[in-house]
Amino acid sequence: MAQPRSLFEKIWERHSITTNEAGQTLLFIDRHFCHELSFHAFNMLHGNDRKVRHPERTFAIPDHYTPTTGLDDADYVDGDTQALVQNLINNAKRNKLNLFGLDDERRGIIHVVGPEQGITQPGTIIVCGDSHTSTHGALGALAFGIGASDVSHVLATQTLWQPKPKSMRVTVSGKRSIGVTAKDVILAIIGHIGAAGGTGHVIEYAGPVIESLSVDERLTICNMSIEAGARAGMIAPDEETYSYLRDRPFAPQGAEWEKAESFWRSLPSDSDAEFDREVTLDAASIEPMVTWGTSPEDVLPVGGRIPDPALETDTKRQDILNRKMDYMGLTPGQQISDIKVDRVFIGSCTNSRIEDLRDAASILKNRTISIPAIIVPGSGLIRAQAEQEGLDKIFEAAGVDWRPAAGCSMCIGVNGDFVNNGERCASTSNRNFEGRQGRGARTHLVSPAMAAATAVTGHFTDVRDMEQN
Amino acid sequence: MEPFTCFTAIAIPMDQDNIDTDQILPARHLMMPRDERYGGYVFKDLRLDQNGNEIESFILNQEGFRPSRIIVAGHNFGCGSSREGAVFTLVDAGFRAIIATSFGDIFYNNSFNNGLLPVVLPEETVQRLRQQLHDGPGAEVTVDLESQTVTGPDQSVYPFEIDAHRRNRLLKGLDAVGYTLQYEENITTFEEDYGDKAPWEMSATLR
Ligand code: SF4
The pLDDT of residue B206: 53
A124 lines ligand 1 (CB under 6 A): no
Residue nearest to atom 2 of ligand 1 (CA): A411
Q: Measure CB to CB from residue B76 to each of A199, A319, A413 and give the nearest one.
A: A199
The pLDDT of residue A29: 97
Kindly state whether residues A168 and A32 are assigned to the same domain.
yes
Instruction: Provide the shortest C-alpha distance from residue B197 to chain A (in Å).
Output: 10
Does A81 touch chain B if contact means CB atoms closer than 8 Å? Answer: yes
The pLDDT of residue B100: 98
Select from A314, A370, A381, A294 the least CA-distant residue to A109: A381
Number of A/B CB contacts below 8 angstroms equals 192
DSSP, collapsed to helix, strand or coil, labels residue A120 as coil
Kindly state whether residues A303 and A158 are assigned to the same domain.
no
Task: Specify the pTM.
Answer: 0.95
DSSP β-ladder status, B149-151 and B140-144 = antiparallel
Lowest-confidence region among A86-100, A179-193, B150-164, B186-200? B186-200
Q: How far is the centre of ligand 1, averaged over its atoms, from the C-alpha of A407 (Å)?
A: 8
Which site among B18, B48, B51 would you substitute to test the A interface, given the most A Cβ atoms closer than 10 Å to its Cβ? B18
The pLDDT of residue B147: 97
In DSSP terms, A203 is beta-bridged to A168, A233
Q: What band does A1 get if pLDDT is binned at 50, 70 and 90?
A: low
In DSSP terms, B71 is beta-bridged to B12, B98
A298 assigned to some structural domain? yes
A2 assigned to some structural domain? no
What is the C-alpha to C-alpha distance for residues B49 and B47, in angstroms, rounded to an integer?
7
Separation in Å, CA B77 to CA A307, A325, B29, B196: 24, 21, 20, 43
A417 lines ligand 1 (CB under 6 A): no
Comparing alpha-carbon positions, the chain B residue that sits nearest to A262 is B198
Q: Measure CB to CB from residue A17 to each of B106, B167, B190 and give the nearest one.
A: B190
Instruction: Provide the shortest C-alpha distance from residue A148 to chain B (in Å).
Output: 6
Using one digit for the tens of pLDDT, what is the confidence trace for A244-303?
999 999 999 999 999 999 999 999 999 999 999 999 999 999 999 999 999 999 999 999
In DSSP terms, B12 is beta-bridged to B71
CB contacts under 8 A, B 161-190 vs A, are: 163-168, 175-177, 180-181, 183, 186-187, 190
Rounded mean pLDDT of A331-353? Answer: 97
Report DSSP state, residue A111.
Answer: H
The predicted complex's ipTM stands at: 0.92
Comparing alpha-carbon positions, the chain B residue that sits nearest to A411 is B27
What is the C-alpha to C-alpha distance for residues A128 and A134, in angstroms, rounded to an integer?
9
A1 assigned to some structural domain? no
A83 assigned to some structural domain? yes
Kindly state whether residues A99 and A47 are assigned to the same domain.
yes
The pLDDT of residue B34: 86
CB B137 within 8 A of CB B117: no
Q: How far is the centre of ligand 1, averaged over its atoms, from the C-alpha of B185 (Å)?
A: 37
E strands, A86-165, are: 98-99, 125-128, 142-145, 159-162
Kindly state whether residues A306 and A235 are assigned to the same domain.
no
CB B205 within 8 A of CB A60: no
Number of continuous H segments (helices) and E segments (strands) in chain A? 15, 19
Is the predicted pLDDT of residue A72 greater than 60, yes or no? Answer: yes
Rounded mean pLDDT of A177-204? Answer: 96
Select from A409, A418, A412, A406 the least CA-distant residue to A70: A406
CB B87 within 8 A of CB B106: no
Does A424 touch chain B if contact means CB atoms closer than 8 Å? Answer: no
A252 assigned to some structural domain? yes
Using one digit for the tens of pLDDT, what is the confidence trace for B149-193?
999 999 999 999 999 989 998 998 888 898 899 999 999 999 999
Residues of B in Cβ contact (< 8 Å) with A23: 163-165
The pLDDT of residue A58: 97
Does A78 touch chain B if contact means CB atoms closer than 8 Å? Answer: no
Comparing alpha-carbon positions, the chain B residue that sits nearest to A248 is B204
Using one digit for the tens of pLDDT, what is the confidence trace for B38-95?
999 999 999 999 899 999 999 999 999 999 999 999 999 999 999 999 999 999 999 9
DSSP assignment of B138-197 equals: T-EEEEETTTTEEE-TT--EEE----HHHHHHHHHT--HHHHHHTTHHHHHHHHHHHHHH
Pick from A277, A311, A328: which residue ends a domain? Answer: A277
Instruction: Provide the shortest C-alpha distance from residue B119 to chain A (in Å).
Output: 15
The pLDDT of residue A351: 98
Residue nearest to atom 6 of ligand 1 (CA): A408
Using one digit for the tens of pLDDT, what is the confidence trace for A372-405?
999 999 999 999 999 999 999 999 999 999 999 9
Residue type, A141: A
Kindly state whether residues A91 and A211 are assigned to the same domain.
yes
Contact flag B106-A147 (C-beta cutoff 8 Å): yes
Using one digit for the tens of pLDDT, what is the confidence trace for A401-427?
999 999 999 999 999 999 999 999 999
A437 lines ligand 1 (CB under 6 A): no
Kindly state whether residues A362 and A233 are assigned to the same domain.
no
Which site among B162, B194, B201, B203 would you substitute to test the A interface, given the most A Cβ atoms closer than 10 Å to its Cβ? B201
* Backbone phi and psi for residue A64, each to the nearest 5 degrees, phi listed first: -70, -45
The pLDDT of residue B203: 60
Pick from A256, A277, A298: which residue ends a domain? Answer: A277
Kindly state whether residues A211 and A308 are assigned to the same domain.
no
- The chain-wide mean pLDDT, for chain A, equals 96
Report DSSP state, residue A4.
Answer: P
Q: Residue A230: how many CA atoms within 13 Å on its side-chain side? A: 33
What is the C-alpha to C-alpha distance for residues A421 and A440, in angstroms, rounded to an integer?
4
Does B80 touch chain A if contact means CB atoms closer than 8 Å? Answer: yes
The CATH number of the domain holding residue A104 is: 3.30.499.10
A284 assigned to some structural domain? no
Q: What band does B205 get if pLDDT is binned at 50, 70 and 90?
A: low
The pLDDT of residue A156: 97
Residues of A in Cβ contact (< 8 Å) with B190: 17, 28
CB A268 within 8 A of CB A7: yes
In ligand 1, which atom is closest to the CA atom of A411?
2
What is the C-alpha to C-alpha distance for residues A85 and A66, in angstroms, rounded to an integer?
7
Q: How far is the centre of ligand 1, averaged over its atoms, from the C-alpha of B55 (Å)?
A: 30
Q: How far is the centre of ligand 1, averaged over its atoms, from the C-alpha of A349 (Å)?
A: 6
Rounded mean pLDDT of B118-130? Answer: 97
A412 lines ligand 1 (CB under 6 A): yes
Helix axes A354-364, A391-398, angle to 10 degrees: 40
A443 assigned to some structural domain? yes
Q: How far is the centre of ligand 1, averaged over its atoms, from the C-alpha of A376 (Å)?
A: 12
Q: What band does B198 get if pLDDT is binned at 50, 70 and 90?
A: confident
Kindly state whether residues A133 and A272 are assigned to the same domain.
yes
- Domains of chain A: total: 2
The pLDDT of residue A26: 97
Domain boundaries, position A436? 290-465
Does B204 touch chain A if contact means CB atoms closer than 8 Å? Answer: yes
Does B33 touch chain A if contact means CB atoms closer than 8 Å? Answer: yes
A348 lines ligand 1 (CB under 6 A): yes
Separation in Å, CA A318 to CA A321, A355, A464: 5, 40, 33
Kindly state whether residues A262 and A405 are assigned to the same domain.
no
A219 lines ligand 1 (CB under 6 A): no
Kindly state whether residues A112 and A33 are assigned to the same domain.
yes
Using one digit for the tens of pLDDT, what is the confidence trace for A228-241?
999 999 999 999 99
Kindly state whether residues A137 and A201 are assigned to the same domain.
yes
Q: Residue A80: how many CA atoms within 13 Å on its side-chain side? A: 10
Instruction: Provide the shortest C-alpha distance from residue B167 to chain A (in Å).
Output: 10
Pick from A277, A302, A327: which residue ends a domain? Answer: A277
Is the predicted pLDDT of residue B204 greater than 60, yes or no? Answer: no
Residue B183 neighbours by CB distance under 10 Å: 17
Kindly state whether residues A195 and A311 are assigned to the same domain.
no
A399 assigned to some structural domain? yes
